[in-house]
Structure 1
């Protein structure tokens, strides 16, 4: 005859219902460290580029709002998309990522900044390409457009680095 020994309950089982929600909450958080300061500086610089001329005498705010001055300068869709992506992802989601410290916000900021960077390169290229059929001469890219692109690329690299560096605690599978 074999006698079975009674199963001793694990004391940690009583705490599992309290620990699992907290573990899931912490899994979505990031700690950007010094990158938070770098991102904040580039967000401020990116906002400053909106006051600089993007092409001719038209600044970034005028391109963003599609003002009459922007229409006279024949601003193309690439420039408009660039400033919108810079504002929404470079500024908006970057601030959201800095304040909330959520992994998904840093990932969205990185992805949007990447797409915005591509649009910025296309915006510069479209300002340098002379129109074939039109007789009017358009202004080239301004300092605000170029510096805005540099800031957005730097934000992409910063947020991409933050999104890739998740701690082992956050990527570990829960203990069963």
Structure 2
């Protein structure tokens, strides 16, 4: 038999963890699509990885917002998401969900900035990355809200 203290400690450990079930497959798949979106055009003919690393053609005038979105979507979408999937901690899932919502709005502003720049509009890769971030944020928030 466990002492009352050990029982309370074990229940606390269970409450801090989550089981994503089938959502883990969805999240991992969307994370893969997010990586693939970095290979597609984001601004003009420049793929997302060039926007991320700052190696785009200066004549495209990509600006700060798409680059900021590229950096944050990589950190949040891939980094925080992987951390939450690996550790299965509720706090990491909450962080991935809330940060994912913020980065999604940041991505929508990045699309808007490309549309109003007077240069080439947003590429398919940028739009796909924003959709991926929205799906990831929704999936993480569903896990967070399902906490018992």
TM value normalised by structure 2: 0.93
Question: Counterparts of 2:33 and 2:117 in 1: how far apart (Å)?
Answer: 30
The equivalent residue for 1:124 is: 111
Aligned residues: 148
Question: Counterparts of 1:102 and 1:46 in 2: how far apart (Å)?
Answer: 22
The one of 19, 32, 37 equivalent to 1:49 is 37
The equivalent residue for 2:68 is: 81
| RMSD of Structure 2 on Structure 1 (CA) | 1.5
Q: Is the helix fraction higher in 1 or 2?
A: 2
After TM superposition, where is structure 1 displaced by more than 3 Å over at least 4 residues in a row?
A: none
Counterparts of 1:17-56 in structure 2, within 5 Å, are 17-56=5-44
C-alpha change, 1:70 and 1:164, in structure 2 (3 Å) is farther
Question: Counterparts of 1:71 and 1:64 in 2: how far apart (Å)?
Answer: 14
Deviation at 1:146, TM superposition (A): 0.5
* 5+ long unaligned stretches in structure 1: 1-11, 132-137, 168-176
C-alpha change, 1:130 and 1:77, in structure 2 (3 Å) is closer
Question: Counterparts of 1:160 and 1:76 in 2: how far apart (Å)?
Answer: 30
TM value normalised by structure 1: 0.79
Q: Which has the larger radius of gyration?
A: 1
SS of the equivalent of 2:42 reads: strand
Question: Counterparts of 1:153 and 1:63 in 2: how far apart (Å)?
Answer: 20
Question: Counterparts of 2:67 and 2:93 in 1: how far apart (Å)?
Answer: 23
Deviation at 1:33, TM superposition (A): 1.2
Deviation at 1:70, TM superposition (A): 4.6
The equivalent residue for 2:95 is: 108
Counterparts of 1:156-175 in structure 2, within 5 Å, are 156-167=137-148
Deviation at 1:77, TM superposition (A): 1.4
